[in-house]
């Protein structure tokens, strides 16, 4: 859609709408098409297959999800990048990035690109703008308007969580030559909170929402995540608010996925896919009982070599004993492995009864004792799969990319957020109630009650470890470690933290990413205090 192409230059990469929007928005049918671009902006990088006709002239040219995955996982104990120099991952891998890091810049500009798209949509979706349409179309566009506001709030949340601050622009502000005000973390927090509360009742119920669109539960889950991290964001203690919004999600009818799927492999053997694994395969769009909101990725309609194609192909070795076909892939890329600390949470993963211990260990060393980029060191992941429930590949990853939707919010995360908030003093659930949530997840993981824990075992440190087991590679680890005060400093070190094999303390400035240098030149209201 040409209307949404972006103009950027080296000093000002905030995207601007290029062609005659009035002609597009004159037709009420086009609102849905533009809304689709807002959703797709998280997982594609351009108007054509694989990111062609790029939205932005940025450092790497990759989509938001690939950058977000690298920023949230690359510096942590969950991911070891392989192609350090070729993929420009040294800074993220060793926690030594600066304001010129290309992944930091890409992710920043992609987040603001989505914000710009949402603002442009909202400028043309106000009551006055749509007053000439029929009543049914007006109601439909008002629904889309709420969704656009959610996507904008989500993008601003990413800015808040990653950068701690950022320029603020909404649909009421000028287009073109305009220097946005810099918002602090507390200001961004207040804005996101206000937006989500204002639209929560305008979004569709989970039973009525069209798949891929944001339901009420998505706004509630985002509020819960916002409140759980409120102290980090300079907004004080909001643990009871976190519990309140977790309760809203849980009470709305979501349930934990507990059904395994079975198919017959080419060799005639029956393959049982545990319920947990079905949340990350190419038919995970069927798991809407647990998956609250996904970034939709489709090998036919949103062809990308970023997004979940990057994750599923990246987790499979290209010089290991791993068989790419076992994951519905044409080939593995060997882009990253798991640092040894995460498998250690499961004990001996080769004998673990926990179905979340999804690691390829054959001819692999658990620990990265030689180097971070040697593919024989570190287990490969097996969490994401491009196979459908029947065992057939969903797409040809060499030609079309993967067809795995990425879970942004799911009920298991909400359970763990509720438990943590209660342990941190939030009210609304008892400890026994949240213990039941945790044990429900562990019963799913173990297939029985053998992995259940008791009330004395439910501690904050247990929750962090359980989040590592349940949520690994779902883009929460950096945020979790920061909330626990363990991401930087020396209280918790992991292999190659700080660029040395045994890990070392790192500077607290790395708790936030820097605003890219080019953006500082474009907007004198912005600055990086510690870079």
Residue 37: Cβ-neighbour burial (10 angstroms; 0-12, 13-18, 19+): middle
Angle at 331 between CA 327 and CA 336, to 5 degrees: 80
Q: What is the DSSP letter of 254?
A: -
Distance CA 329, CA 49 (A): 18
The pLDDT averaged over each successive group of 10 residues in the chain (531 residues) is: 34 45 91 97 80 72 94 98 94 98 96 97 96 97 98 98 98 86 98 98 96 98 98 98 98 98 92 98 98 96 91 95 96 97 97 98 97 96 98 94 97 99 98 98 98 98 98 98 98 98 98 96 94 93
Q: Which of 488, 521, 526, 525 is nearest to 504 (CA)?
A: 488
- DSSP SS3 for 441: helix
pLDDT at 3: 34
Distance CA 474, CA 5 (A): 29
Residues near 419 by Cβ (< 8 Å), separated by ≥ 6? 434, 435, 437, 438, 458, 463
DSSP 298-355: -TTTS--SSHHHHHHHHTS-SSSS--GGGGT-S-----EEB-THHHHTTSSTTT---T
What digits encode the pLDDT tens for the residues 430-470?
999 999 999 999 999 999 999 999 999 999 999 999 999 99
Enumerate domains of the chain plus CATH numbers: 2-202+512-522 (1.25.40.390), 214-254+405-487 (1.25.40.900), 274-289+297-400 (no CATH)
Q: Which of 334, 344, 325 is nearest to 385 (CA)?
A: 325
- This prediction has a pTM of 0.95
What digits encode the pLDDT tens for the residues 410-436?
999 999 999 999 999 999 999 999 999
Distance CA 230, CA 425 (A): 14
Distance CA 131, CA 468 (A): 50
User: Number of helices and strands (H, E) in the chain?
Assistant: 17, 10
pLDDT at 354: 98
DSSP 412-425: HHHHHHHHHHHHTT
pLDDT at 2: 33
pLDDT at 155: 98
């Amino acid at each position: 859609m040409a209307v949404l192409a972006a103009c950027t230059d080296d000093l000002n990469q905030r995207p601007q709408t290029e062609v005659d929007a009035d002609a597009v928005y004159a037709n009420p049918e086009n609102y849905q098409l533009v809304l689709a671009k807002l959703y797709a902006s998280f997982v594609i990088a351009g108007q054509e297959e694989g990111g062609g006709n790029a939205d932005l002239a940025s450092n790497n040219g990759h989509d938001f999800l690939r950058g977000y995955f690298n920023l949230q996982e690359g510096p942590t104990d969950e991911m070891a990048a392989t192609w350090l120099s070729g993929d420009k991952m040294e800074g993220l891998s060793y926690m030594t990035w600066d304001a010129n890091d290309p992944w930091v810049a890409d992710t920043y500009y992609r987040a603001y690109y989505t914000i710009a798209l949402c603002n442009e949509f909202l400028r043309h979706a106000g009551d006055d703008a749509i007053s000439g349409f029929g009543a049914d179309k007006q109601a439909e566009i008002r629904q889309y308007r709420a969704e656009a506001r959610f996507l904008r709030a989500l993008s601003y949340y990413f800015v808040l969580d990653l950068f701690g601050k950022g320029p603020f622009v909404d649909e009421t502000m000028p287009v073109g030559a305009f220097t946005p005000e810099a918002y602090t973390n507390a200001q961004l927090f207040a804005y996101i909170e206000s937006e989500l509360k204002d639209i929560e009742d305008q979004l569709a119920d989970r039973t009525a929402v069209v798949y891929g669109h944001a339901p009420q539960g998505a706004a509630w889950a985002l509020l819960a995540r916002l409140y759980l991290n409120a102290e980090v964001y300079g907004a004080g203690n909001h643990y009871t608010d976190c519990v309140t919004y977790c309760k809203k999600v849980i009470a709305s009818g979501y349930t934990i996925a507990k059904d395994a799927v079975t198919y017959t492999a080419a060799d005639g053997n029956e393959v049982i896919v545990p319920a947990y694994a079905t949340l990350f395969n190419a038919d995970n769009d069927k798991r809407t009982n647990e998956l609250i909101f996904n970034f939709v990725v489709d090998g036919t309609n949103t062809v990308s070599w970023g997004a979940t194609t990057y994750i599923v192909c990246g987790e499979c070795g290209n010089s290991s004993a791993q068989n790419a076909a076992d994951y519905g892939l044409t080939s593995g890329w060997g882009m990253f492995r798991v640092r040894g600390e995460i498998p250690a949470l499961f004990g001996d993963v080769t004998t673990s009864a926990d179905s979340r211990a999804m690691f390829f260990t054959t001819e692999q060393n658990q620990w990265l004792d030689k180097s971070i980029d040697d593919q024989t060191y570190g287990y490969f992941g097996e969490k994401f799969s491009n196979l459908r429930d029947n065992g057939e590949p969903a797409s040809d990853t060499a030609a079309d990319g993967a067809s795995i939707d990425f879970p942004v919010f799911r009920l298991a995360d909400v359970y763990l957020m509720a438990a943590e908030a209660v342990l941190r003093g939030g009210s609304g659930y008892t400890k026994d109630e949240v213990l039941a949530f945790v044990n429900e997840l562990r019963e799913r993981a173990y297939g029985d009650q053998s992995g259940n824990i008791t009330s004395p075992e439910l501690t904050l440190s247990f929750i962090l470890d359980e989040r590592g087991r349940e949520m690994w590679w779902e883009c929460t680890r950096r945020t979790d470690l920061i909330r626990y005060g363990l991401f930087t400093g020396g209280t918790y070190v992991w292999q190659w933290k700080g660029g040395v094999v045994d890990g070392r303390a790192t500077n607290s400035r790395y708790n936030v990413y820097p605003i890219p240098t080019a953006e500082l030149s474009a907007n004198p209201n912005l600055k990086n205090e510690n870079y």
